[in-house]
Amino acid sequence: MRAYVALGSNQGECMQLVVDAMAALDGMANTRLIRRSFLYRTAPWGVTEQPDFINAAVELDSALEPRELLDGLLEIERVAGRKREGARWGPRTLDLDLLDYAGRAINEPGLTLPHPRIAERAFVLLPLADLAPDLEIPGQGRVADLLAAIDLAGCHRLPGSA
């Protein structure tokens, strides 16, 4: 199944953490990385008194069920040093968000698809639009249309990051 994952980091060697996470995603059982977006430097969202983030997105082909894929994302975060404590939307070594899984709508404890705030976040939509501008986010619209409706201030593509 086709899945899209957002990646972000603003602690440590951010670009390397994101690139390493892409490799780890490609190395997951029954999962293959199809394409990756450009890298973006983006202003923090929510808690603004923290360093800028490096953000990207990837397109995966995965035979894993959504919960299994999410568990794999959480393990990659853990290996990268992510600790799920402190302020929500605060600094983090690595953040991996499952954005969409084959267009499914899921609302279970710990797993909501599509990602609940996808339409509000330029740092998610910009890299996702690199991969799938025509992707229909269930109940929200096409990625390109969602992107056109939000403020892109504070988001900058990093040269040579394709």
Query: Catalytic residue positions?
Result: 82, 92, 95, 97
The CB density around residue 37, as the number of other CB atoms within 10 Å, is 24
Distance CA 92, CA 154 (A): 18
Distance CA 84, CA 101 (A): 23
Contact 105, 114 (CB under 8 A): yes
DSSP string, 37-90: ---EEE--SSS-SSPPEEEEEEEEEE-S-HHHHHHHHHHHHHHTT----SSTT-
**What is the helix, strand, coil percentage profile of the chain, to 5?**
30, 30, 45
